[in-house]
Amino acid sequence: MIEPDLSENSIRILEARYLKKDPDGNLIETPKDMFLRVANNIAEANAIYDEPVDKTAEEFYEMMAKLEFLPNSPTLMNADNDLQQLSACFVLPVEDSMDGIFDAIKNSALIHKSGGGTGFSFSRIRPKNDIVKTTGGVASGPISFMRIFDEATNTVKQGGKRRGANMGVMRVDHPDIRDFITSKEDEDQLNNFNISVAITEDFMEAYQNNEKYELINPRTGKITGLEDASEIFNLIVEMAHKNGEPGIIFLDKINEENPTPEIGEIESTNPCGEQPLLPFEACNLGSINLSKMTEGPIGEAEINYDKLAETVKKAVHFLDNVIDMSEFPLDKITEMVQGNRKIGLGVMGYSDMLLKLGLAYNSQEAVETAENIMGFINKKAREASHKLAKRRGPFPNFEKSIYEKEYRNATTTTIAPTGSISIIAGTSSGIEPLFALAYERHVIDETLVELHPIFAQIAEERGIMNDELKEKLASQSSIQKIDEIPDDLKEIFVTSHDITPEWHIKTQAAFQKYVDNAVSKTINFKNNASKNDVKEAYELAYKLDCKGITIYRDGSRSGQVLTTKSSD
C-alpha cells in the first residue's frame, strides 16, 4: 500500500483540522489512517448495490494517497466520524415570515456545525417599511435579518475547524436592492457573508438599452417603482471596486441550465458561488489534481488523457457513493439530495499543470487547453454517470429532468475554490493562476511561507537560484522585473497580477463552457484599476456566458487571505 507523500504545510493543516483527536486533543490518526478511513467508509456504499467493497476501497485510497483526487473537506473530516455529514454546499430557502426566517437560521447553524457552507436568497422577504399585518407595524427588511444570520454564524464557529460561510443573494428587482448592494461597504459588516446580486435578463436588456426597469414587492407581486438600470449597475461596480463586494450572478442563465426545473427554481448558490442549488439541496464536491495528470519533463510535459479518464471514472463513482453515505441535519435535505443526486467533480492544480506543459496562463493556447481538458472531463464524467445509472438506476427525479439519456446524477461537474484541499494536495488552487512565487498563506491562526516547488526546481536546474534571488522572490508578487530571471521563464511563470482581467475571465469562460454547475474564480485587478475596468469585466463575463463574476482589486480589503510581504 502506498504511503502518502505530503508536504510540511499539508501535514500541518491536516493535523490542525482533519485528523481525528481524542477528547484531550491528542492526534489518534495519521494522514494515511485518514485516507483509509475515508476510502473504506465511502466504498461501503457499494454494498447497497451488491457491488464488491474491498477493491473499490483500495482504488479510492490510492487516488487520494497519491493526491490525484480529493473530496471536499467535510468528506475528509466527517466520514466515519461522529457527524457523517459529507457535503460542502447547501442552499436553504428563506420564507417571508418570522417562522420561515428563524427556521432558516436554525437550519444553517446545524449545517455550519457539520462543516457545510450555506447559501440563501433574501429576495422573498418583504422590503423594509412594508406592512406587517399581525402586528400592524412595519417590516424591518431583508438586510436587517441578514445581520441575525451573520451573528448566528459568528456564534457557532464550528468548533474551531471551519468558521462558517454564507452566501446572500438578492434579485436586482427587489425594492431594497440599493441597501443590499451597499450592505458590505463598511468592511466590518456581514463578515460571514459573501453577497451577490442576482441579475436578470430583463435587467440586462434595460441596461443595454439605457432604460429603467421595474422593482417588485415579493409579498404582493406588485410593481413598487422604477430604477435606472445603469445607475444600479454602476453602484454594483463602485462597491465591488471599493472592496470586492457584491459579486453578481446571472440568475436567468443559471436557470436556463437548471436540470430539474419541474422540481424547483434556482435562487441562490453556495458561499463561493460555484454551486447553484435548489432550496434544501446540497452537493458534495471533489477535485482532480491536474498537476498529477501529466507526463514528461517540466516545461515539455503532456497531458496523460488515459490516466485522466481513469481518474474521472473513479472520482464519479466516489462522489456518487458519498451521497449514499451522507447524513444530513434535515429530512428535507436528504429528500432533495437523494432525488437529484448532484455531484460536483472539478479540478485543482490547473496553473501548476500549465507550468509543466510550458504554457503561460495568459495565452490562447492555455485557454484552448482549458477547454479541451474540461470538455474531456465533462464527457467522461457523464459517461461514468450514465454507466452508474445502468447499474444503480438513474437519479429518482430523472423523469422530471431535461435529460433524454439516463444519468445517475443531475449534475456532474463544478469548479470549486479548493482553498484547503489544494494545500493538502500541495498544488495551485482550483483554476487560479499562481499568486506569487513565494508567499505567505494565512490559515486560521497560522502563517505559512511557501516557495513555489516547480519554479524552485527549474531555477535550481538553470543554476540561477541563490539567497539573493529568494529574497527578491519573497518580496514581490511578480518576477517580471527581476533581471537575473531569463525571459523564457518570465513568460511562463506569470502571477495573477501579470495577468489582465480579460485573461482571467477567458479562463473562467473556457471552463464554464464544459461545467454543469458553475466556476469559482476571482478576477484579479491591480490596485490602480479604474471603475470602468471593472465595468468592462462584468460586461465581458456576461458576453462570454459566465454564470457570475467575483472581482478583487489588490489591496482593497484589509484582511486579504493571500498576501505577499509587499505587493508591488
Least distance CB 306 / ligand ADP (angstroms): 27
Please identify, using beta-carbon distances, which residue of 165 and 308 lies nearer to ligand ADP: 165
Q: How far is Cα 565 from Cα 568, in angstroms, rounded to an integer?
A: 10
Q: How many CA atoms lie within 13 A of 475 on its CB side?
A: 8
Please identify, using beta-carbon distances, which residue of 165 and 366 lies nearer to ligand ADP: 165
79 makes contact with ligand ADP (CB under 6 A): no
First to last CA, the chain: 46
Least distance CB 238 / ligand ADP (angstroms): 26
Q: How far is Cα 452 from Cα 205, in angstroms, rounded to an integer?
A: 45
Least distance CB 270 / ligand ADP (angstroms): 4
73 makes contact with ligand ADP (CB under 6 A): yes
Annotated catalytic residue: which of 78, 258, 270, 321?
270
Q: Of residues 163, 212, 531, 535, which one binds ligand ADP by CB under 6 A?
A: 163
Q: Is the dihedral of CA 144, 149, 154, 156 positive or negative?
A: positive
For the beta carbon of residue 255, count every other beta carbon within 10 angstroms.
15
Q: Of residues 4, 31, 142, 164, which one binds ligand ADP by CB under 6 A?
A: 164
Q: Is the dihedral of CA 489, 492, 493, 494 positive or negative?
A: positive
Please give the DSSP secondary-structure letter assigned to residue 3.
Answer: P
Please identify, using beta-carbon distances, which residue of 268 and 556 lies nearer to ligand ADP: 268
DSSP secondary structure string for all residues of 357-394: HT--TTSHHHHHHHHHHHHHHHHHHHHHHHHHHHHH--
For the beta carbon of residue 296, count every other beta carbon within 10 angstroms.
13
Least distance CB 154 / ligand ADP (angstroms): 12
337 makes contact with ligand ADP (CB under 6 A): no
Cβ neighbours of residue 415 closer than 8 Å, sequence gap 6 or more:
274, 346, 347, 430, 431, 511, 515, 518, 519, 520, 521
Which positions from 117 to 146 touch ligand ADP by CB under 6 A, shown as an x/- string? x-----------------------------
C-alpha cell at 123: 429576495
Q: Determine contact, residues 342/281, Cβ cutoff 8 Å.
A: yes
231-270 residues near ligand ADP, rule: CB under 6 A: 270
344 makes contact with ligand ADP (CB under 6 A): no
Number of residues that bind ligand ADP (CB under 6 A): 21
Element containing residue 438 per DSSP (H, E): strand 438-443
Least distance CB 419 / ligand ADP (angstroms): 3
CA distances from 245 to 82, 117, 252, 382 (A): 36, 18, 21, 35
Least distance CB 76 / ligand ADP (angstroms): 8
CA distances from 379 to 27, 213, 312, 374, 568 (A): 41, 40, 10, 8, 42
Annotated catalytic residue: which of 274, 281, 432, 450?
274
272 catalytic? Reply is: yes
270 catalytic? Reply is: yes
343 makes contact with ligand ADP (CB under 6 A): no
Q: Where are the beta strands (DSSP E) in 280-348?
A: 281-289, 294-295, 302-303, 343-348
521 makes contact with ligand ADP (CB under 6 A): no
206 makes contact with ligand ADP (CB under 6 A): no
Least distance CB 90 / ligand ADP (angstroms): 7
Q: Determine contact, residues 110/159, Cβ cutoff 8 Å.
A: no
CA distances from 411 to 197, 246, 343, 414, 552 (A): 24, 27, 6, 9, 29
Least distance CB 194 / ligand ADP (angstroms): 9
Q: Determine contact, residues 511/519, Cβ cutoff 8 Å.
A: yes
263-302 residues near ligand ADP, rule: CB under 6 A: 270-272, 274, 285
Q: How far is Cα 454 from Cα 352, in angstroms, rounded to an integer?
A: 8
Q: Of residues 17, 113, 126, 162, which one binds ligand ADP by CB under 6 A?
A: 162
Which positions from 410 to 439 touch ligand ADP by CB under 6 A, shown as an x/- string? ------xxxxxx------------------
**Pairing mode, if any, of strands 137-138 and 268-269?**
unpaired
Cβ neighbours of residue 564 closer than 8 Å, sequence gap 6 or more:
435, 436, 438, 439, 440, 474, 475, 476, 477
Least distance CB 416 / ligand ADP (angstroms): 4
409 makes contact with ligand ADP (CB under 6 A): no
By beta carbon distance, the residue nearest ligand ADP is 117
Stretch that binds ligand ADP, among 163-171, 298-306, 354-362, 439-447 (CB under 6 A): 163-171
Please identify, using beta-carbon distances, which residue of 195 and 272 lies nearer to ligand ADP: 272
Q: Of residues 165, 216, 266, 519, which one binds ligand ADP by CB under 6 A?
A: 165
Of the candidates 377, 393, 335, 380, the residue with the CA atom closest to the CA atom of residue 510:
377
C-alpha 291: how far from its chain's center? 19
Least distance CB 14 / ligand ADP (angstroms): 12
Please identify, using beta-carbon distances, which residue of 76 and 354 lies nearer to ligand ADP: 76
Please identify, using beta-carbon distances, which residue of 71 and 175 lies nearer to ligand ADP: 71
392 makes contact with ligand ADP (CB under 6 A): no
Cβ neighbours of residue 328 closer than 8 Å, sequence gap 6 or more:
85, 87, 282, 334, 337
Please identify, using beta-carbon distances, which residue of 270 and 385 lies nearer to ligand ADP: 270
93 makes contact with ligand ADP (CB under 6 A): no
Annotated catalytic residue: which of 89, 272, 283, 546?
272
Catalytic residues: 270, 272, 274
Residues that bind ligand ADP (CB under 6 A): 72-73, 88-89, 116-117, 162-165, 270-272, 274, 285, 416-421
